[in-house]
């Protein structure tokens, strides 16, 4: 990006926090000043929310950047912090997980149950020869055992690496190899879209291919038939028979906790490494602060999959360290019907909901009458994560889910950051639809230009983090140089997140998507996010994905893939008219420079398992290339659908 990112859209709506929430908020406005006065003392105070077996000698060692050490010399056990200490505090009967299977079967797991299960799983892993520092792969459906497996690893100091259930043999085998894992924990399958979806065959093939794995632990979930090898052991014949007594041992604050692979744009996936004390400090604090969790009364639900960092930090470590009661759901949002999410909110009286823009836009597409059919009055805080949330989707979420009462926290963070970095505080911040607002207390972030100068309010550029933070990645597994090159080399002294952002006239931050996706049109840098938001603000549009395609006259031209809302006629002449209206609508909203050269009406968009639009594949289509790597695509039939739909659309003037 040679020039500064253009700042095209303007948003004037403002939403102050509800008075009662503000009055009783876990974190109030003074936290910002406190953290600014002494950032390290602020984080030390948050670390004290945890139980340490041995106190730290030094809060932060930043003598060898970018390799940070937090709470140096301190020791703790994360499973103890997430489970045992709540039982010791007399909360053993509190529900930790209200689990809802896709077919409608349910389980209730209390903190005492969790302590027993995690101890049994820890004992089984020890019996299988897993010791502190070994790597264990987890390839599971969304069942309580997934969380138990992660906590059991943490309890014995093994490093877990969760791979999305449903990723290919190739993806799993590469990760097993890269991490040199020796055990895989999996299940026969899980329920998705109304039927059992097998996992074990993928594991069998990956294990056969790598030859590294010594044992495979298999949870029986669906009961479907599975092939069996001498490496396989049933969970119910091992874990559930093991002793429920296990004494957690404390580990160094910098002991490796997990490796989570991010696909990246090119080449082999990066194994993002997180460690123990700093990671739990920040996930626990941010979960308490951003969601305002009151563990005695709230019912929290994060709809993420455990295979995404959001599942790690905001299903397992953050909520459980805070003693939360949460809902965990196995399946898809349209099984048995499109009301499933709202039926779950209604059934469990969910009070805090954390979901992704892709889901909110899908719900918009399905229609307002669906959430309207349920009692959602229990909801008091709504969260969003994963992509920029378009102002239109934000407003829909507020109106149709939050019923104009519940504040929305748009939380920006990454696998690499481990925890939320930029977000409103629900009892403090006056929010703007579509903005993640400001860095949390104790976090340093800025938007800079290509000369690494901070841009003034009203400007756009590169999002950077200016100070080390407790849950920062400690590296890329096995590749220090790649860690330095990817994040710390572009701008001296800053962590470069890879995202574009702008500051509005008040200094609030607006995320503009990955800088690789920024389009250069006739010398102007235009973000995909702003054009997508302009399209979604048209009443006929449910979702849009925008890419820059090579163009002989403008360098790049804007090509938009657009999904019309369910009730819109987009066939034949009506479709032609809609395309014309949309091009004019974008020109009117953002200015003529942002008018798409071409708009394609489609029924689906290619997405990753965590719901992010894969613009790279759309660029291939827009430039008439054959498709690149599709291994992380959620649904492989989508690209065929899009390509076949192209026949009906044609470029405009």
* Residue among 192, 181, 201, 176 nearest 142 (CA): 192
We find the least distance from the C-beta atom of residue 490 to ligand 7RM, in angstroms, to be 14
94 is in an annotated binding site: no
Nearer to ligand 7RM, 115 or 326 (CB): 326
We find the least distance from the C-beta atom of residue 181 to ligand 7RM, in angstroms, to be 21
Q: Which stretch binds ligand 7RM (CB under 6 A): 292-300, 400-408, 491-499, 621-629?
A: 491-499
Nearer to ligand 7RM, 269 or 333 (CB): 269
159 is in an annotated binding site: no
* Helix orientation angle between 144-156 and 111-127, rounded to the nearest 10 degrees: 60
Q: Which stretch binds ligand 7RM (CB under 6 A): 118-126, 281-289, 492-500, 581-589?
A: 492-500
538 is in an annotated binding site: yes
412 is in an annotated binding site: yes
Cis peptide before 437 (omega within 30 of 0): no
Cis peptide before 391 (omega within 30 of 0): no
Q: Does residue number 110 form part of the binding site for ligand 7RM (CB under 6 A)?
A: no
Q: Which stretch binds ligand 7RM (CB under 6 A): 69-77, 86-94, 404-412, 466-474?
A: 404-412
Assign residue 90 a region: left if phi > 0, alpha if psi is -120 to 50, beta otherwise?
left
Among 497, 508, 549, 617, binds ligand 7RM (CB under 6 A): 497
Q: Distance between CA atoms of 384 and 363, rounded to whole angstroms?
A: 14
Among 311, 388, 424, 439, binds ligand 7RM (CB under 6 A): 388
Q: Does residue number 309 form part of the binding site for ligand 7RM (CB under 6 A)?
A: yes
195 is in an annotated binding site: yes
Q: Distance between CA atoms of 204 and 177, rounded to whole angstroms?
A: 15
Give the tokens for residue 238: 């091992």
Q: Does residue number 530 form part of the binding site for ligand 7RM (CB under 6 A)?
A: no
124 is in an annotated binding site: no
Rg, C-alpha atoms of the chain: 24
Among 411, 419, 429, 471, binds ligand 7RM (CB under 6 A): 411
Q: Does residue number 413 form part of the binding site for ligand 7RM (CB under 6 A)?
A: yes
We find the least distance from the C-beta atom of residue 170 to ligand 7RM, in angstroms, to be 20
We find the least distance from the C-beta atom of residue 241 to ligand 7RM, in angstroms, to be 37
Which residues in the 421-440 window bind ligand 7RM by CB under 6 A?
Answer: 436
* Residue among 257, 414, 296, 426 nearest 353 (CA): 426
Number of residues binding to ligand 7RM, judged by CB under 6 A = 20
Q: Are 111 and 345 in contact (CB under 8 A)?
A: no
We find the least distance from the C-beta atom of residue 546 to ligand 7RM, in angstroms, to be 15
Give the tokens for residue 24: 């009783």
Give the tokens for residue 634: 């959620």
Among 385, 536, 559, 614, binds ligand 7RM (CB under 6 A): 385
Q: Distance between CA atoms of 635 and 395, rounded to whole angstroms?
A: 28
Among 51, 224, 249, 262, binds ligand 7RM (CB under 6 A): 262
What one-character-per-residue DSSP string does 381-413 give? EEEE-SSPPPHHHHHHIIIIISTTTS-EEE-B-
Would you report the helix, strand and coil content of the chain in percent, each value rounded to 5?
35, 25, 45
We find the least distance from the C-beta atom of residue 384 to ligand 7RM, in angstroms, to be 6
388 is in an annotated binding site: yes
Q: Are 427 and 27 in contact (CB under 8 A)?
A: yes
Q: Which stretch binds ligand 7RM (CB under 6 A): 64-72, 154-162, 394-402, 410-418?
A: 410-418
Among 85, 502, 514, 583, binds ligand 7RM (CB under 6 A): 514
Q: Which stretch binds ligand 7RM (CB under 6 A): 67-75, 168-176, 286-294, 380-388?
A: 380-388
* Residue among 314, 239, 312 nearest 273 (CA): 312
We find the least distance from the C-beta atom of residue 308 to ligand 7RM, in angstroms, to be 6
413 is in an annotated binding site: yes
How far lies 462's CA from each of 3, 502, 590, in Å? Answer: 11, 8, 21
527 is in an annotated binding site: no
Quick one: which H or E segment has residue 274? strand 270-275
Q: Does residue number 412 form part of the binding site for ligand 7RM (CB under 6 A)?
A: yes
Q: Distance between CA atoms of 489 and 24, rounded to whole angstroms?
A: 43
Per-residue 3-state assignment (H helix, E strand, C coil) for 73-105: CCEECHHHHHHHHHHHHHHCCCEEEEEECCCCC
Q: Are 143 and 219 in contact (CB under 8 A)?
A: yes
338 is in an annotated binding site: no
Q: Distance between CA atoms of 121 and 376, rounded to whole angstroms?
A: 37
Residues that bind ligand 7RM (CB under 6 A): 262, 309-310, 385-388, 410-415, 436, 497-499, 511, 514, 610
Which residues are annotated binding-site positions for ATP?
Answer: 386-388, 410-415, 499, 514
């Amino acid at each position: 990006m040679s020039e500064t990112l253009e700042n095209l859209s303007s948003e004037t709506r403002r939403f102050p926090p509800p008075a009662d929430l503000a009055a009783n908020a876990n974190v109030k406005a003074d936290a910002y000043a406190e953290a600014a006065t002494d950032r390290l003392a602020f984080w030390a105070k948050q670390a004290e929310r945890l139980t340490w077996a041995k106190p730290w000698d030094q809060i932060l060692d930043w003598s060898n950047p970018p390799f940070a050490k937090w709470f140096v010399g301190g020791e703790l056990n994360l499973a103890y912090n997430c489970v045992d200490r709540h039982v010791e505090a007399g909360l053993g009967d509190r529900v930790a997980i209200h689990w809802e299977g896709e077919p409608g079967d349910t389980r209730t797991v209390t903190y005492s149950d969790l302590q027993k299960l995690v101890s049994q799983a820890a004992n089984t892993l020890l019996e299988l020869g897993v010791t502190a520092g070994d790597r264990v792969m987890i390839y599971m459906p969304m069942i309580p055992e997934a969380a138990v497996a992660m906590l059991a690893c943490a309890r014995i100091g093994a490093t877990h690496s969760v791979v999305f259930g449903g990723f290919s043999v190739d993806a799993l085998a590469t990760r097993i190899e890269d991490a040199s894992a020796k055990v895989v924990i999996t299940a026969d399958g899980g329920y998705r879209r109304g039927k059992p979806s097998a996992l074990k065959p993928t594991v069998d093939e990956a294990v056969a291919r790598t030859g590294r794995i010594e044992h495979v632990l298999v949870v029986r979930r669906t009961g479907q038939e599975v092939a069996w090898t001498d490496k396989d052991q049933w969970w119910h014949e091992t874990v559930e028979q093991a002793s429920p007594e296990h004494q957690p041992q404390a580990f160094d604050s910098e002991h490796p906790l997990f490796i989570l692979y991010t696909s990246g744009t090119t080449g082999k996936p990066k194994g993002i490494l997180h460690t123990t004390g700093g990671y739990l400090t920040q996930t626990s604090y941010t979960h308490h602060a951003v969601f305002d969790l009151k563990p005695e009364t709230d019912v929290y639900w994060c709809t993420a999959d455990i295979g995404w960092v959001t599942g790690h930090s905001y299903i397992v470590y953050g909520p459980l360290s805070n003693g939360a009661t949460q809902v965990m759901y196995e399946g898809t949002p349209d099984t048995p019907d499109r009301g499933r999410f709202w039926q779950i909110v209604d059934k469990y009286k969910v009070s805090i909901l954390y979901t992704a823009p892709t889901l909110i836009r899908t719900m918009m597409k399905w229609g307002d009458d669906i959430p309207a059919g349920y009692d959602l009055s229990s909801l008091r805080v709504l969260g969003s994560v994963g992509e920029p949330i378009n102002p239109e989707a934000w407003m829909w979420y507020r109106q149709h889910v939050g019923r104009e009462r519940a504040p929305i926290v748009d939380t920006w963070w990454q696998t690499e950051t481990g925890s939320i970095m930029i977000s409103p505080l629900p009892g403090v911040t006056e929010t703007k639809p579509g903005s993640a607002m400001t860095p949390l207390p104790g976090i340093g972030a800025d938007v800079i230009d290509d000369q690494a100068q901070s841009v003034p309010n009203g400007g756009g550029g590169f999002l950077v983090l200016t100070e080390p933070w407790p849950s920062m990645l400690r590296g890329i597994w096995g590749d220090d140089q790649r860690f330095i090159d990817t994040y710390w080399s572009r701008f001296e002294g800053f962590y470069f997140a890879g995202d574009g952002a702008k500051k509005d006239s008040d200094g609030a931050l607006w995320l503009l998507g990955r800088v690789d996706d920024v389009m250069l049109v006739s010398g102007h840098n235009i973000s995909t996010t702003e054009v997508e938001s302009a399209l979604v603000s048209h009443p006929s549009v449910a979702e849009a994905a925008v890419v820059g395609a090579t163009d002989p006259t403008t360098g790049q031209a804007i090509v938009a893939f657009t999904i019309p809302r369910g009730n819109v006629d987009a066939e034949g002449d009506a479709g032609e008219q809609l395309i014309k209206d949309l091009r004019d609508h974008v020109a009117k909203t953002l200015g003529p420079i942002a008018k798409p050269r071409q708009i394609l009406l489609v029924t689906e968009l290619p997405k990753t398992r965590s719901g992010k639009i894969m613009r790279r594949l759309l660029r291939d289509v827009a430039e008439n290339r054959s498709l690149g790597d599709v291994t992380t695509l959620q649904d492989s039939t989508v690209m065929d659908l899009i390509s076949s739909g192209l026949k009906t659309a044609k470029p405009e003037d």
